[in-house]
Amino acid sequence: MGESVIPLADLRYAAEVPVVPQRLREPTGLVSDQLGRPLHDLRISLTDRCNFRCGYCMPKSVFDREYQFLPHRSLLSFEEITRLARVFAAHGVSKVRLTGGEPLLRRNVEDLVAMLTEVRGADGEPLELTLTTNGSLLARKAHALKAAGLSRVTVSLDALDDAVFRRMNDMDFPVADVLAGIDAAVQAGLGKIKVNMVVQRGINDHEIVSMARHFRGSGIVLRFIEYMDVGASNGWRMDQVVPSAQVLDRLQAQWPLEPVAPTARGETAERWRYRDGAGEIGLISSVTKAFCRDCNRARLSTEGKLFTCLFATRGHDLRALLRGGRSDLEIATVLGELWGRRSDRYSELRGAEGTAVGTGERRIEMHYIGG
């Protein structure tokens, strides 16, 4: 037999194969990192592909027809994803978010959802299963996802104005189809739906109030996200960031708002509700108010690399352990040690320095690891 060939796409980001310790440790469900942060959320990227080319994530200038995406054989199978989810759950993960790229491009994704509903957390309870999507395929998938056991869905939507939305997704995709997907999710009963708007100055910040007006009173939570310096492809500049404080000022000028206390440690969004009872909005201030101190999220790339920070440069190749015949206990021991050594706080450092923090290595891209 010839030697196996590792596709170049697999080598896009540095990753080490973790060494399995001689002494194995059963997970206790209470693992913490160097800053005392527990492992609570797991975000799993199902594909590095997307049918949009949003400039802040996958600009066409980089992700063109020649771009080499991961081949299917590189991707974790649904069985491998489910097995890893069980290992993470044993360490305290109680919430799994399926992401991408665009996760609904992964064929039969509802089958994976059904498999994950069988996983139990360290407390014996089912996991909270959520999915983030651009909404383009949601109208045809919403009912199947709900039937499979999906708890909730979050839809990325950056503008209501059709011309603005088409320019931003850069694939001439109409906003009406995304709104139809949101309606289908509501009809399917997919929990408390959230809509995420990435705000860029001079691009779509004039849509802030109209987006809020549209979703007020609908039961859908609209969240405004500061434009982040993820990866190196989006040409991020600080002057394109609209601070959440300014977003709040614009909204307060229209409708009185009051703060809502967080429901759990590690929430990324500051919650505000309309005083007239028309619902709530969220502010994710990832640039101006770093929330590294309470970050309890791990990220698993579509080919099985573990990243302990959204702004990481290096990962840990868990797929190699899966396909190398390692037991669940061995993988759990490795995961416990990796999380125990974690000290990531990129956004805090960036905030202190007032600019993006460079390490000399390429940071992972948003489409590859998900939001």
pLDDT of residue 371: 64
Residue the block writes with tokens 């503008």: 159
pLDDT of residue 260: 95
pLDDT of residue 1: 39
Task: Select from 76, 51, 47 the least CA-distant residue to 63.
Answer: 51
Instruction: State the sign of the Cα–Cα–Cα–Cα dihedral 79, 81, 82, 86.
Output: positive
How far apart are alpha carbons 187 and 198 in whole angstroms? 25
| Strand 314-317 versus strand 14-16 pairing type | parallel
pTM, 2 dp: 0.91
pLDDT of residue 234: 57
Instruction: State the sign of the Cα–Cα–Cα–Cα dihedral 323, 326, 329, 330.
Output: negative
* Beta-bridge mates of residue 284: 225
Token pair listed for 225? 């996200």
pLDDT of residue 13: 67
First to last CA, the chain: 40
Task: Please calculate the CA angle 358-364-367 and round it to the nearest 5 degrees.
Answer: 140
Which domains are present in the chain?
8-194+293-369 (3.20.20.70)
Residue 147 CB partners (closer than 8 Å, separation 6+): 110
Task: Give me the average pLDDT of each 10-residue run along the chain (371 residues).
Answer: 54 80 95 94 96 89 89 95 98 96 97 98 96 98 98 97 96 98 97 94 96 97 87 66 95 97 80 97 86 87 91 88 97 96 74 51 69 64
Residue 175 CB partners (closer than 8 Å, separation 6+): 157, 159, 160, 161, 162, 165, 166
pLDDT of residue 57: 84
The answer to whether 166 touches 174, Cβ cutoff 8 Å, is: yes
Measuring CA to CA, how many Å separate 324 from each of 12, 79, 185, 331? 21, 15, 40, 11
Token pair listed for 149? 């056991």
pLDDT of residue 140: 97
Cis status, amide bond into 217, omega within 30 of 0: no
pLDDT of residue 314: 82
